Structure 1
Amino acid sequence: MVRTNDVSWAAKPYAEIREIAQQDDSICIVPIASLEQHGYHLPTGTDTMLVEAVASRGAERVADDVPVLMTPTLWVGYSPHHVPFGGTVTGEFDTLHEQIEEVADSALDNGFDTLLLLNGHGGNGPLVSAATATVGQTHPEAEILGLTYFELGAYFADDVRESDLGGISHGGELETSMMLHLYPELVDEEKMEATQWETEYDQAASDLLDSGPLSVTLDVEEWSESGAMGDVSAVSAEKGKRFLDGFVDEMEALLRAVHE
């Protein structure tokens, strides 16, 4: 059984990192998340904890066959829309973009063939897309990929979710269930409260798994008193495990496809 330390960049001495990176078809995963409010019931590190769980478990699944390492998570995200609630640390878009580029540059200097920017925060979506393009331009010798992990739920989540469209959002059915599975001691079940995510435009996003073609500035304070958005009426640890297993299955499939 592969242990998390076996895929952790931070747990290895530099010579071993270089050795892994310089193997054929090597992959470096850089998780990117946030530190921000998630309503009354979830910790501010929710996005960071969840993307780390998906990244590490996906990498562990393939580590016997694929040279892969995962860096520590970049925990500052683009979260100005959560600042009014407190408990949120955010960065400027351009500053965060440059930070990702610099991390990518130095990681790729070790010899990795592929860099996967794995995002765990909705507000980082445009940021990761931009960085994927610019890093790819400066590193034509490598393959640069960008992915928001929860969008992989489009392949399986309908078999797990019970909420209507709008129920899987910020601190809603998906994130709360996953946290109940992974970190139940950090979820305050007596304070679970969220507002259903609604939109006035049919073309706009109405759910984390329904992005829509129309981008609309999101003012969380306007929509939700608690700061959480979605449906928490049918959350459970068992459902959280099913969500997590689905994401890890999809991550494994992606990493194997990249390697092959």
Structure 2
Amino acid sequence: MPIRTRFWAELRWPEFRDLPENTVAVLPIAATEQHGPHLPVSTDQTINAGILARALTHCPPELPLLVLPHQAVGLSVEHLAFPGTLTLDEEGFLALVTAIGASVARAGVRRLVVMNAHGGNGAMLEVACRRLRAAHRILAVSALWDRMGRPGELADPLEARYGIHAGRDETALMLRLSPQDVDRAAMADFPSARRPLEEQAPAIASSLGATLAWQAQDLNPAGAVGNAAKATAEMGEALLDFAARRMAGLWRQVAAVDLDAWLRDMPGDMNGGISGAP
């Protein structure tokens, strides 16, 4: 029998005792941070919510899935030079995600997908998911929509590499999801300083075995990188549906995983089965 709602907060506590074994909890996490002169600080939240809503339409009603409350403030220290940015510190962000995940596990749900909309959250989400696996024996997955590919007609290697913040794709999604919040007059091509740096010092900036620490103003003093001037609402619709289908597919696969086959326990007595162990 399908769960009567898709939203964790709408369930009554006795209902959590009857959830299917393969229930997937989805934790949307975004950011409240500057997105250049043309997009609002709510951009990541709006995009995440839009992809989430569309992804739910691509899920069969029998898929046991519960969406947790959207976390609107993430880890945005790379944008602190710009007013309006809100951020947790690394310790606070890690504590938030692991505490929510632990609560999910205590409710008996052993499958968690963190649906991320901000690249700066990624490294600490990997740590959080690993901690949750170790402490609670759950399947914990972090997924960033921006890393799930692009529809073929929108494939652009240069934009994918350098247009990582408030560029063509985020601007297109905002034109589709919240056009009233986009300042079209301020949409421009915002070149990334990373490109000439790669020419000068490729071993540092090319991501080939090295990780470059940067602040948003290092890449472009406007706080955006990428060709936002090329964005259209039609591009936004194509990106929205593509990302939503990829996300919904991930949820379905997480629900189908055989946890007992994947999550292994080590023997309690590590020496017990080893010949000649002291």
With the shorter chain as reference, the TM-score category is 0.7 to 0.9
1:13 to partner: Cα distance = 3.4
2:239 — aligned with what? 243
Contact 1:34 1:121 in 2 (8 A): yes
Indicate whether 1:230 and 2:226 are aligned: yes
- Following the alignment from structure 1 to structure 2, what is the Cα–Cα distance between the partners of residues 66 and 132? 23
Indicate whether 1:169 and 2:164 are aligned: yes
| Structure-2 change in CA distance of 1:137 and 1:24 (3 Å) | same
- Following the alignment from structure 1 to structure 2, what is the Cα–Cα distance between the partners of residues 205 and 16? 51
The DSSP-based 3-state class of the residue aligned with 1:25 is coil
Once superposed, what is the RMSD of the aligned Cα atoms?
A: 2.3
- Following the alignment from structure 1 to structure 2, what is the Cα–Cα distance between the partners of residues 113 and 93? 25
Identity of aligned residues (%): 27
1:18 to partner: Cα distance = 4.6
2:122 — aligned with what? 125
Contact 1:29 1:55 in 2 (8 A): no
| Structure-2 change in CA distance of 1:212 and 1:256 (3 Å) | farther
Contact 1:167 1:231 in 2 (8 A): no
1:33 to partner: Cα distance = 1.1
Scaled by the length of structure 2, what TM-score is found? Answer: 0.81
2:8 — aligned with what? 9
Which letter maps to 2:56?
A
Contact 1:167 1:173 in 2 (8 A): no
Number of aligned residue pairs: 248
1:84 to partner: Cα distance = 0.9
Scaled by the length of structure 1, what TM-score is found? Answer: 0.87
Residue correspondence of structure 1 range 163-202 to structure 2 within 5 A? 164-165=158-159, 166-197=161-192, 198-199=194-195, 200-201=197-198, 202=202
Moved more, 194-203 or 228-237: 194-203
1:116 — aligned with what? 113
Instruction: Structure 2: state its 5+ residue gaps.
Output: 257-278
Moved more, 111-120 or 239-248: 111-120
1:120 to partner: Cα distance = 0.8
Which letter maps to 1:34?
A
Indicate whether 1:216 and 2:188 are aligned: no
Instruction: Structure 1: state its 5+ residue gaps.
Output: none
1:195 to partner: Cα distance = 1.9
2:153 — aligned with what? 159
Which letter maps to 1:186?
D
1:109 to partner: Cα distance = 1.4
2:103 — aligned with what? 106
Contact 2:7 2:67 in 1 (8 A): yes
Contact 2:175 2:233 in 1 (8 A): yes
| Structure-2 change in CA distance of 1:103 and 1:119 (3 Å) | same
The DSSP-based 3-state class of the residue aligned with 2:75 is coil
- Following the alignment from structure 2 to structure 1, what is the Cα–Cα distance between the partners of residues 97 and 174? 27
| Structure-2 change in CA distance of 1:137 and 1:39 (3 Å) | same
Match among 255, 260, 265 for residue 259 of structure 1: 255
1:222 to partner: Cα distance = 2.4
CA offsets 1:199-256 (integer angstroms, 9 cap, x no match): 42446777xxxx7643211121122122111111210000001001111111121112
1:124 to partner: Cα distance = 0.6
